[in-house]
Structure 1
């Protein structure tokens, strides 16, 4: 069985220096693009993160400083990544909470535009956790009846994620073979940003998900508390979250 696609979908996976979306960097990215005619193209890049890779991270994904010292920096490969994912939905394993936010952070940090509204994110892990809570290796064994070799290799994990999603759609009658459905099914929280600092209320307005103004509309706080926006922009929030703060701030003065 193949996925029913009206436009391309890019499965991708990141190996990184750590799990802090704001501070950590990509050391490897693999993308598997599946087109509506079921043709596929894949690309994997090693990336010089320009910071040391912690030993605990290297022990997980097997990539050490010496492996990437001659690799391109992210800014040099970003145009190729953007070209590959343009006009495509984005899918991954735990991608809504980690891979997409970190990819967005890397792009914005290097002055490349990224807007999640142009892509429908589909998180294979969410389907798995809703149906059969386990890890990717267990998901691959459960759905595909095979052992996942080279786990934590971006290329192997990306291909496994693609195979698992196809198997999930085939296994569950409740999981439709439709990218719009899969996007909505795997979206756990409706947030305006990627890291979950800014939520959306019933009217679709941006609200704070944290701090002293939790639950309040951004546009109202930016009008009543003039210094709060400045504090947000100087604090250690992800760049994509700051982009939402600024966009809402600008709307609040119109």
Structure 2
């Protein structure tokens, strides 16, 4: 059976910012859907332990005050999210994550921060990821316009309820992945093992192309060095003082 006709697991985080090394998780969602079974969704609100910048709060709607009053301790949230994803991976279900290298790297760094065993340390090479952003760039490289989740939802005629809430984004990512697989038999009929490996190559090529664009664009040259080519996770490099 084609992978997109089976169970999928959407994963999404909303955070204090866009730095995977220094920012923190605010909300998280792990949702299992498809495969002719009922949708099962788990969501978390964390107290990140730092202030949530006003700009981030405007995106996802969670203020510092709300997170402190209603959120679980961040370490508990991280442990529970990692455990939920371990169960998914061990069941052979692919994780669907829009711009996976952000969410999975953020979760990895938070796990290390709170002394939780990271996902990849627990599941090893069993991890299989589907990234709608990588797939979309591969099949429609020259389409004009943005490549954010809401852009892809418009392009693939997918309903998005409440953009920038973790639960809405997680289920929408699954819907976009399903639609791409339906429209592109080469992707829909590929094995998960093959597709995961190909996305590693495609993501690297896409990142290299972006870096080259920055180098050739006046005023953006400095951004080229910040482009990372690793997918679906940026490897951790211990810094001074870290264990």
Normalised to the residue count of structure 1, the TM-score between the two structures is: 0.69
- After TM superposition, give the deviation of residue 126 of structure 1 in Å: 0.3
Q: Secondary structure at the match of 2:55?
A: helix
- Aligned mates of 2:183, 2:32 — CA distance in 1: 23
**Mapped partners of 1:72, 1:130: distance in 2:** 39
Higher helix proportion (structure 1 or 2): 2
Is residue 47–residue 74 contact of structure 2 (8 Å, CA) maintained in 1?
yes
Conserved? CA contact 1:140–1:160, under 8 Å: yes
Summarize deviations over 1:174-222 as a string: whole Å, max 9, x none. 2134322331232224859932688xxxxxxxxxxxxxxxxxxxxxxxx
Q: How many residues align?
A: 200
Q: Detail structure 1 runs of 4+ shifted over 3 Å in the superposition.
A: 34-40, 189-193
| Larger CA Rg, structure 1 vs 2 | 1
| Counterpart residue number, 1:82 | 82
- Identify the residue that residue 246 of structure 1 maps to in structure 2: none
2:234 paired residue number: 195
Deviation at 1:29, TM superposition (A): 0.3
Q: Could you tell me which residue of structure 2 aligns to residue 105 of structure 1?
A: 109
Counterparts of 1:146 and 1:40, CA distance in 2: 17
- 3-state SS of 1:47 partner: strand
- Residue 148 of structure 1 deviates from its aligned partner by 2.6
- 1:252 alignment counterpart: none
SS of structure 2 residue aligned to 1:3 = helix
Q: Are the counterparts in 2 of residues 4 and 179 from structure 1 also a CA contact under 8 Å?
A: no
**Where does residue 94 of structure 1 map in the other structure?**
99
Is the deviation greater in 31-40 or in 118-127?
31-40
Work out which of the residue numbers 173, 177, 200 in structure 1 matches 2:185: 173
How far apart, in 1, do the equivalents of 2:136 and 2:232 lie? 24
Query: Larger deviation: 184-193 or 67-76?
Result: 184-193
Q: 1:4: Cα distance to partner?
A: 4.3
- Give the unaligned 5+ runs of structure 1: 199-231, 243-254
- Structure 2 stretches of 5 or more lacking a match? 205-228
Instruction: State the SS of the aligned residue for 2:154.
Output: helix
